[in-house]
């Protein structure tokens, strides 16, 4: 089966600019997750969707980050405005249902200048 | 949730040896545990998972052991190969809560 698709693979922007990432989960997976992974650390959950509804966004910096999954399939994550500390890899994952193994895409590496 | 940690940040082994990567967790309510392998430039790759009603689960060349008494999880890799070199993460959750990842252990396999 096709895995989780993410684009772009790399993005370089200046601070205070905006950026968007796209994710297409594995077909049929109801649950979609966005993680932030800072170099040398484990992934940290930003937001979790169940179909097109938000289940957990408690760790999402809502003043600058937003995410949507309007039709319950693909999803976008946006940062506006970006800060230097947002430099990280943004990973998308999906699972068949909650509390099932999550399968990850290869992420978008974001560098803020 | 509470944090998950690893004892060894780097593990170096020879090709053909067995590797053991350890993980301690602190949330006694955790009931689902999962190991991921992450190679440079790639996303975490699912290796094996285990639920709290089991204490051992085996896959192809990998075994996960769960000791709920001391809140300890380990990943054993048999006949380690150079292709096993990567960072390994354990993660845990309780009920339908989200996964909490540890910091990771780097496994280096020498030919």
Q: Does A107 touch chain B (CB under 8 A)?
A: yes
* Tokens 């049929």 belong to residue: A28
Q: Does B103 touch chain A (CB under 8 A)?
A: yes
Which H or E element spans position B110?
Answer: strand B105-110
Residues of A in contact with B37 (CB under 8 A): none
Residues of A in contact with B9 (CB under 8 A): none
pLDDT at A1: 66
The stretch A91-104 carries a mean pLDDT of: 93
pLDDT at A39: 86
Strands A108-112 and A53-56: unpaired
pLDDT at B7: 46
User: What six digits make up the tokens of A91?
Assistant: 């990973």
* Tokens 């910096």 belong to residue: A61
Tens digit of each residue's pLDDT (9 = 90 or more) over B77-88: 999 999 999 999
Of residues B67 and A99, more confidence is placed in: B67
pLDDT for A51 beyond 60: yes
CA distance B3 to chain A (A): 11
Q: Does A56 touch chain B (CB under 8 A)?
A: yes
Angle value at C-alpha A89, between B25 and A27, nearest 5 degrees = 85
Interface touch A42/B49, C-beta < 8 Å:
no
Between CA B7 and CA B99 the distance in angstroms is: 19
Tens digit of each residue's pLDDT (9 = 90 or more) over B24-36: 998 899 999 999 9
């Amino acid at each position: 089966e096709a895995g989780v698709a993410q684009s772009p693979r790399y993005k370089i922007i200046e601070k205070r600019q905006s950026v968007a990432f796209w994710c297409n989960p594995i077909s049929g997976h109801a649950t979609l997750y966005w993680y932030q992974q800072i170099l040398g650390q484990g992934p940290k959950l930003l937001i979790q969707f169940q179909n097109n509804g938000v289940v957990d966004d408690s760790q999402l910096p809502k003043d600058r980050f937003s995410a949507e999954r309007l039709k319950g399939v693909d999803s976008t994550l946006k940062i506006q405005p970006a800060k230097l500390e947002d430099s990280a890899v943004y990973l998308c994952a999906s699972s068949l249902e909650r509390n099932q193994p999550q399968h990850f895409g290869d992420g978008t590496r974001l560098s803020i200048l | 949730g509470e944090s998950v940690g690893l004892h060894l940040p780097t593990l170096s082994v020879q090709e053909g040896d067995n590797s053991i990567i350890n993980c301690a967790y602190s949330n006694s309510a955790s009931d689902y545990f999962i190991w991921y392998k992450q190679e440079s430039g790639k996303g975490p790759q699912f290796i094996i998972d285990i639920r709290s009603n089991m204490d051992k689960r085996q896959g192809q060349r990998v075994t996960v052991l769960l000791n709920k008494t001391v809140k300890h999880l380990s990943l054993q890799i048999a006949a380690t190969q150079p292709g096993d070199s990567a960072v390994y993460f354990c993660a845990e959750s309780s009920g339908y809560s989200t996964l909490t990842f540890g910091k990771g252990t780097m496994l280096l396999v020498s030919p």
